[in-house]
Amino acid sequence: MASAVNKREIMINNEVSDAERKQALDIKKANSFKQKDEALITSIYTADPSAHVFNNKIYIYPSHDIETDNAINDDGDHFAMRDYHVLSIENDTNEVIDHGVALSLENVKWASKQLWAPDAAHKNGTYYFYFPARDLEGIFRIGVATSLSPAGPFIAEDSYIEGSFSIDPAIFEDDDGSYYLYFGGLWGGQLQNWHQGQFSSKDQYPADDQASLPAKMAKLSDDMLSLAEPVKDIVILDEDGNAITTEDNERRFFEASWVHKYNGKYYFSYSTGDTHNIAYGIGDNPYGPFVYQGVILNPVLGWTNHHSIVSHQGKWFLFYHDSTLSKGQTHLRCVKKTELLHDENGKIITITAYE
């Protein structure tokens, strides 16, 4: 199998992107999918759902997909999102509430476009909303906005988090009250453009047999607005203790970091990108390393696969998205929810979204 790097070079040379190829296939077969889970909301297109329990209620922080004339390509230019909505689920009725626009591009001074997958956290009465966007020079950074309500609206800080880069912020709160920021994404997420803390317009990947580009993380400062330490790598190991390699694109990290804790162990889950799995590893602390365990969610309809995991009222749930609502259009997605189960050994039972 060609590595992710080589596959991308092949697609560029053939002038057919992976995103275009996948969408063409998905549109053809969209009507044949019998979905197990209905879209949580159908009045707007939503994706990348980050779910948290605040005030004993599930709140969901998705990106807001929109129609666009931008070309479909592997840098994700067709993901042209300009604002965020917040959703919540009523405990008694399971009714999904759309709380409306929580943050808009025009209210973020440092950002130029593409409000991609966000996340949120709560500390001492304040809700913090973390989001990626391209800065005025076209480089992805991670910003933060605050509110006194989990539903927003949120007021963005004047600048992005110093030292942040790439996409897909995810916040993990540990039992001791520490908060950690995880982030990173390949291709359009620009992770391959960062080396020794410097951005380069040239893509650089490790060799196929070398350790793959890692996800990034850092502990957050007490103010939740800055990094408390230098950015660190998240290493994913195979069963023999070796780092997952670049060519192993069925298992290597691509984007969509998430961390949850179960029975004292730390679970780092992520998307494998062009192979479309949600996979995971288990570690003994928030920094890893994490030993690869398997697939949480098999590929869904659509080019991307992005998720979150949360516990509520004694059950665990997986939130994810697909393109069933738009009949296979990869940039017009809908968020869904399904129960997630850990077996007696702590392994996650693999989920398939369709009959």
Q: What amino acid positions are annotated as catalytic residues?
A: 48, 255
What is d(CA 288, CA 268) in angstroms, rounded to the nearest whole number?
Answer: 8
- CA distances in angstroms from 260 to 51, 126, 142, 170, 308, listed in the order given: 11, 21, 21, 11, 9
What is d(CA 289, CA 207) in angstroms, rounded to the nearest whole number?
Answer: 21
Structure token pair of residue 1:
């199998």
What is d(CA 119, CA 100) in angstroms, rounded to the nearest whole number?
Answer: 16
Residues with Cβ within 8 Å of 175's Cβ and at least 6 positions away in sequence, in order, are 261
- Length of the chain (residues): 355
- Which 3 state secondary structure label does DSSP give 255? strand
Name the amino acid, one letter, at 317: F
| C-alpha closest to that of 216 among 237, 191, 199, 196 | 191
Radius of gyration, alpha carbons of the chain: 19
Contact (Cβ atoms closer than 8 angstroms) between residue 340 and residue 37: no
DSSP character for 72? P
Q: Which helix (H) or strand (E) holds 268?
A: strand 265-271
